[in-house]
């Protein structure tokens, strides 16, 4: 997704392998990004562009006039199956292919309003009803939709508006004398029930609040930094020749503390892992659900009630306002290139959007400086000992007695303060010298192909919406007639993104977090993506600690219970004990213990609880005789015993064993880890079931604190914890002594 599709990558890498060695060497040793782009783009042939176009056609982003009926019928099938979310998405696809002010789009909006109504999204339902009417919803079908509108208003606690809608509905029913008897009677019956609701002022709360979004928006910085706008005073801005601009902690940072609250300069919705459909009949009518169907393409808000672009079927927004802003800022240029941008990947798309959005800032100095440097064959993007100095004379200079003085940190303003603008983005380090020649060749050819498409579309798209003649002059064709300058800027941004882009994703537990990787694996991951070896205190401490076995893999002395240390032969760490034992012997005992524990889990799964407890208790005694108290296997045995006793309803014993397991989890992962949060959640459930009210409330508070950081306030676990707390607080007080 970040880089172009596999077919284009393979094609370009094959093209690279066939280049003469001298040409490869010339590109590999090019001193500037301008040279990399010029040399690479000169090798782009018409057949390469034709192949790329064939790949782009796999992503159909135009409007197909036959598609709305297909998607409406498919949505009706989902609706009948009571899959209202699936129905809403399919109706949205129909909307995306419809032209404005047609019966197609009106019917799709109306059908989607019905799906949203059943999902409890009453505000969104009302908006869709309004859109259906705006686009010419057929008069003959209006009564059913007006009834739905009135029901939404009742559910939202707006009885006066509901009454007016009912009056309009009655007038409409009276005028439609040709309405079939059966549907008419059904509507009349539903209308009667609705009047009763309005009279009784029954109201149902909205069931789809944007809880997470509101929670994040309401978070505030504890104290704002004077140097970095939108950042906490817990961090300051620094710079490093090899790492570029960076944030440095100035004090201990608390778990969950908000460090930066800043809108992205640009963002692009990640389409998700949905490959293009094969060519053939019906291949354009894709019924699969992707991120592009569920989120606004501008503000990234989750929505099932999208509003489509009038020019393409891909871009969708949560509101007309987002649609308008996107069109003004970038989509007017991107609209015709949707298939190409999906083929070239997220990095190329973000790079283009960066330059399009930057048109609306005073970045003429950037363009003119690039043009001057290219025309004079000067260094376009310096990669020297001070690699982030790029364009500082044109962007971040200060005058002192007629002498230009560079800002101390590249990308900051004249006052030395960081601001969220194109200057800050442009001065991020592209790490040109660290990217492989093949990768730079792939990016350069991809950008070159995109530039040719922009050139074919003309510069009108690029200057669309620019009110300032100064800005239009900055990107006018006479300055860069072959889009060379634009291409160099795009290439720079594409290389920057590997080290500087942030992917904002939904919370999913799909595997071990990077922080759970071993020191070697974590260092390798950092090296491959960010091109540096981390030397922070935590990494150094872990590297030193892993020279010996970690505590969760350690053995203990069978005589005095002290920690065993050493290589092939382990010795007791207590000075008063002479115990020594072979590591191989202990490893064999551990393997046997794990086999015995496995047998106990089989008994547990089959419901033979008493036998399982007996087996696990024996494993527990054996483990305690040679495993360190914080060994992970010992913690797993305690967790299994807690599960067994919980199944028997012995909550007190279950809690006791789970608390021992918590000690092991905390030692391995830390008190604020997500693993600790999950274990605290389990303990809270056990204590709740055992009516241990004070202990349960205390544990719920700890679990909420940890899980809120990792999972957010909308997670299922947080919601259940809050429900448990509410139940416990509603219990009558327990008398502490005899009454008189």
Whether the predicted model's global pTM rises above the 0.85 cut:
no
Domain end residue (candidates: 505, 521, 542): 505
Q: What residues are paired with 317 via a beta bridge? A: 307
When pLDDT is cut at 50, 70 and 90, the band that residue 338 belongs to is: very high
Which two three-digit tokens encode residue 414? 């004249």
Please indicate, yes or no, whether residues 37 and 133 belong to a single structural domain of this protein. Answer: no
Instruction: Say if strands 564-566 and 569-572 run parallel, antiparallel, or are unpaired.
Output: antiparallel
Q: Is residue 544 part of a domain?
A: no
223: left (phi over 0), alpha (psi -120 to 50) or beta: beta
pLDDT at 267: 93
Answer whether residue 464 shows pLDDT above 60: no
Q: Which of 419-428, 651-660, 708-717 has the highest mean pLDDT?
A: 651-660
What does the pLDDT average to over 532-542?
Answer: 73
- The phi, psi pair for 720, rounded to 5°, reads -70, -40
Please indicate, yes or no, whether residues 27 and 111 belong to a single structural domain of this protein. Answer: no
- Asked if 90 and 68 touch (Cβ cutoff 8 Å), the reply is no
- The phi, psi pair for 73, rounded to 5°, reads -70, -40
pLDDT at 479: 35
Q: For the domain that residue 145 is a member of, what is the CATH number?
A: 1.25.40.10
79-104 burial: b if 16+ Cβ within 10 Å, else e: beeeebebbbbbbbbbbbbbeeeeeb
Least confident of 167-181, 362-376, 386-400, 724-738: 386-400
Whole-angstrom distance, CA of residue 166 vs CA of residue 170: 6
pLDDT at 567: 87
Instruction: Say if strands 235-240 and 244-249 run parallel, antiparallel, or are unpaired.
Output: antiparallel
Please indicate, yes or no, whether residues 171 and 120 belong to a single structural domain of this protein. Answer: yes
Instruction: Say if strands 397-400 and 403-406 run parallel, antiparallel, or are unpaired.
Output: antiparallel
Least confident of 174-183, 281-290, 619-628, 731-740: 174-183
Higher per-residue confidence, 121 vs 390: 121
539: number of CA atoms within 13 Å, CB side?
A: 14
- Asked if 138 and 103 touch (Cβ cutoff 8 Å), the reply is yes
DSSP code for 563: B
Answer whether residue 398 shows pLDDT above 70: no
Least confident of 49-53, 249-253, 626-630: 249-253
Answer whether residue 211 shows pLDDT above 70: no
- Percentage, residues of the chain above pLDDT 90: 48
pLDDT at 207: 33
Q: What residues are paired with 247 via a beta bridge? A: 237
What does the pLDDT average to over 625-636?
Answer: 94
Range of the domain at 349: 1-61+338-377+417-456+479-505
Q: Is residue 98 part of a domain?
A: yes
Burial label for 10, CB within 10 Å (0-12, 13-18, 19+), is exposed
Long-range contacts, stretch 232-240, CB < 8 angstroms, 24+ apart: 232/257, 232/258, 232/259, 232/260, 234/259, 235/259, 235/260, 237/409, 237/412, 237/418, 238/409, 239/388, 239/408, 239/409, 239/410
Please indicate, yes or no, whether residues 367 and 492 belong to a single structural domain of this protein. Answer: yes
Please indicate, yes or no, whether residues 36 and 123 belong to a single structural domain of this protein. Answer: no
- Asked if 332 and 444 touch (Cβ cutoff 8 Å), the reply is no
Answer whether residue 405 shows pLDDT above 70: no
DSSP code for 386: S
Whole-angstrom distance, CA of residue 658 vs CA of residue 696: 13
- Asked if 365 and 338 touch (Cβ cutoff 8 Å), the reply is no
Instruction: Tell me the DSSP string of 161-172.
Output: HHHHHHHHHHHH
- Percentage, residues of the chain above pLDDT 70: 78
- Asked if 499 and 245 touch (Cβ cutoff 8 Å), the reply is no
Answer whether residue 514 shows pLDDT above 70: no
Please indicate, yes or no, whether residues 27 and 117 belong to a single structural domain of this protein. Answer: no
Whole-angstrom distance, CA of residue 14 vs CA of residue 29: 20
282-299 burial: b if 16+ Cβ within 10 Å, else e: eebbbeebebbbbbbbbb
Residue for token pair 């007080």: 733
Higher per-residue confidence, 374 vs 85: 85
Cβ neighbours of residue 538 closer than 8 Å, sequence gap 6 or more: none
Looking at the structure of the chain, the number of domains it has is: 2
pLDDT at 182: 46
Answer whether residue 441 shows pLDDT above 70: yes
Least confident of 284-288, 390-394, 720-724: 390-394
Residue for token pair 């929670």: 215
Q: Considering the chain, what is the average pLDDT of its residues?
A: 81
Cβ neighbours of residue 129 closer than 8 Å, sequence gap 6 or more: 109, 110, 113, 145, 148, 149, 152
Question: For 422-436, how does the pLDDT look when each residue is reduced to its tens digit (9 = 90+)?
Answer: 888 888 889 888 999
Q: What residues are paired with 397 via a beta bridge? A: 406
- Asked if 112 and 131 touch (Cβ cutoff 8 Å), the reply is no
Q: List C-alpha distances in Å: 87 to 67, 114, 152.
A: 15, 9, 19
Whole-angstrom distance, CA of residue 88 vs CA of residue 294: 10
pLDDT at 364: 56
Q: Is residue 12 part of a domain?
A: yes
* Segment (H or E) for 419: none
Please indicate, yes or no, whether residues 74 and 143 belong to a single structural domain of this protein. Answer: yes
Please indicate, yes or no, whether residues 15 and 139 belong to a single structural domain of this protein. Answer: no
Domain end residue (candidates: 466, 489, 505): 505
Can you state the angle between helices 632-648 and 651-669, rounded to 10 degrees?
160
Answer whether residue 276 shows pLDDT above 70: no
pLDDT at 512: 56
326-337 burial: b if 16+ Cβ within 10 Å, else e: bbebbbbbbbbb
Please indicate, yes or no, whether residues 142 and 18 belong to a single structural domain of this protein. Answer: no
Please indicate, yes or no, whether residues 139 and 152 belong to a single structural domain of this protein. Answer: yes
**Other residues' Cβ atoms within 10 Å of the Cβ of residue 490:** 27
What does the pLDDT average to over 1-18?
Answer: 92
What does the pLDDT average to over 601-608?
Answer: 94
Q: Is residue 148 part of a domain?
A: yes
Please indicate, yes or no, whether residues 422 and 367 belong to a single structural domain of this protein. Answer: yes
Question: For 319-333, how does the pLDDT look when each residue is reduced to its tens digit (9 = 90+)?
Answer: 999 999 999 999 999
Please indicate, yes or no, whether residues 136 and 170 belong to a single structural domain of this protein. Answer: yes
What does the pLDDT average to over 228-236?
Answer: 88
Whole-angstrom distance, CA of residue 61 vs CA of residue 69: 17
- Asked if 223 and 236 touch (Cβ cutoff 8 Å), the reply is no
What does the pLDDT average to over 629-657?
Answer: 95
Answer whether residue 203 shows pLDDT above 80: no
Answer whether residue 585 shows pLDDT above 60: yes
Where would I find the beta strands (DSSP E) of 471-614?
Answer: 564-566, 569-572, 580-582
Q: Is residue 88 part of a domain?
A: yes
Q: Is residue 120 part of a domain?
A: yes
373-382 burial: b if 16+ Cβ within 10 Å, else e: bbeeeebbbb
Q: Is residue 259 part of a domain?
A: no
Question: For 469-492, how does the pLDDT look when each residue is reduced to its tens digit (9 = 90+)?
Answer: 444 444 433 334 457 888 898 999
Q: List C-alpha distances in Å: 190 to 184, 546, 586, 700.
A: 10, 71, 75, 45
Answer whether residue 465 shows pLDDT above 60: no
pLDDT at 386: 35
Answer whether residue 390 shows pLDDT above 70: no
Higher per-residue confidence, 152 vs 280: 152
Answer whether residue 34 shows pLDDT above 60: yes
Q: Is residue 151 part of a domain?
A: yes
Answer whether residue 43 shows pLDDT above 90: yes
Domain end residue (candidates: 148, 167, 202): 202
Question: For 667-679, how does the pLDDT look when each residue is reduced to its tens digit (9 = 90+)?
Answer: 888 898 889 999 9
Which two three-digit tokens encode residue 626? 């040679």
pLDDT at 193: 57
């Amino acid at each position: 997704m970040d880089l172009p599709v596999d077919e284009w990558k393979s094609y370009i890498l094959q093209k690279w392998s066939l280049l003469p060695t001298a040409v490869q060497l010339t590109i590999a040793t090019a001193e500037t990004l301008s040279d990399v782009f010029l040399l690479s783009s000169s090798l782009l042939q018409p057949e390469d562009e034709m192949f790329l176009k064939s790949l782009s056609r796999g992503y159909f982003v135009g409007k197909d006039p036959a598609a709305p009926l297909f998607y409406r019928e498919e949505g009706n099938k989902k609706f009948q199956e009571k899959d209202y979310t699936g129905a809403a998405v399919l109706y949205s696809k129909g909307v995306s292919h419809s032209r404005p002010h047609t019966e197609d789009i009106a019917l799709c909006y109306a059908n989607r309003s019905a799906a949203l109504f059943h999902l409890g999204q009453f505000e969104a339902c009302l908006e869709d009803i309004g859109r259906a009417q705006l686009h010419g919803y057929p008069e003959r079908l209006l009564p059913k939709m007006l009834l739905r509108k009135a029901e939404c208003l009742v559910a939202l606690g707006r009885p006066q508006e509901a009454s007016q809608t009912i009056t309009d509905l009655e007038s409409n029913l009276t005028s439609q004398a040709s309405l079939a008897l059966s549907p008419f009677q059904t509507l009349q019956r539903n209308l009667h029930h609705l009047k009763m609701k309005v009279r009784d002022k029954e109201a149902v709360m909205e069931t789809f609040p944007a809880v997470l979004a509101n929670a994040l928006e309401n978070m505030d910085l504890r104290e704002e930094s004077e140097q970095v706008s939108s950042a906490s005073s817990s961090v300051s801005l620094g710079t490093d020749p090899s790492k570029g601009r960076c944030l440095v902690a100035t004090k201990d940072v608390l778990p969950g503390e908000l460090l930066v609250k800043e809108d992205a300069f640009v963002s692009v919705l990640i389409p998700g892992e949905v490959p293009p459909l094969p060519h053939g009949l019906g291949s354009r009518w894709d019924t699969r659900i992707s991120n592009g169907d569920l989120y606004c393409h501008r503000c990234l808000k989750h929505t099932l009630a999208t509003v489509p672009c009038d020019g393409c079927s891909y871009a969708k927004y949560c509101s007309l306002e987002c649609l308008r802003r996107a069109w003004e800022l970038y989509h007017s240029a991107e609209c015709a290139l949707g298939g190409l941008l999906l083929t070239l990947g997220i990095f190329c798309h973000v790079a283009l959007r960066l330059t399009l959005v930057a048109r609306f800032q005073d970045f003429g100095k950037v363009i003119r400086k690039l043009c001057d440097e290219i025309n004079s064959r000067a260094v376009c993007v310096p990669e020297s000992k001070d690699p982030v100095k790029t364009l500082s004379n044109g962007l971040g200079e200060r005058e002192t007695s007629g002498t230009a003085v560079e800002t101390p940190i590249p990308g900051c303003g004249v006052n030395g303060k960081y601001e969220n603008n194109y200057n800050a983005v442009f001065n991020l380090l592209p790490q040109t010298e660290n990217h492989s020649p093949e990768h730079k060749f792939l990016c350069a050819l991809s950008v070159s192909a995109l530039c040719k498409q922009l050139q074919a579309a003309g510069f009108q798209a690029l200057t669309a919406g620019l009110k300032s003649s100064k800005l239009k002059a900055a990107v006018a064709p006479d300055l860069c007639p072959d889009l060379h300058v634009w291409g160099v800027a795009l290439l720079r941004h594409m290389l920057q993104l590997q080290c500087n882009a942030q992917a904002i994703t939904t919370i999913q537990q799909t595997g071990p977090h990077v922080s759970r990787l071993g020191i070697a694996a974590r260092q390798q991951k950092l090296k491959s993506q960010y091109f540096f070896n981390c030397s922070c205190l935590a990494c150094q401490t872990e590297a030193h600690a892993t020279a010996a076995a970690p505590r969760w893999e350690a053995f203990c002395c069978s005589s005095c219970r002290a920690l065993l240390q050493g290589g092939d032969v382990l010795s007791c760490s207590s000075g008063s004990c002479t115990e020594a034992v072979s590591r191989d012997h202990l490893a064999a005992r551990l393997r046997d213990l794990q086999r015995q524990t496995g047998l106990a889990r089989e008994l547990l799964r089959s419901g033979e609880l008493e036998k399982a407890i007996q087996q696990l208790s024996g494993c527990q005694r054996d483990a305690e005789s040679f495993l360190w108290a914080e060994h992970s296997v010992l913690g797993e045995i305690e967790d299994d015993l807690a599960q067994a006793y919980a199944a028997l309803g012995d909550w007190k014993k279950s809690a006791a064993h789970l608390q021992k397991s918590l000690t092991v989890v905390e030692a391995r992962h830390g008190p604020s880890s997500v693993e600790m949060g999950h274990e605290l959640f389990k303990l809270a459930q056990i204590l709740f079931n055992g009516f241990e009210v004070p202990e349960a409330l205390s544990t719920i508070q700890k679990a909420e604190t940890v899980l809120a950081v990792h999972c957010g306030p909308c997670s299922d676990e947080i919601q259940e914890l809050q429900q448990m707390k509410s139940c416990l607080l509603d219990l009558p007080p327990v008398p502490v002594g005899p009454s008189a």
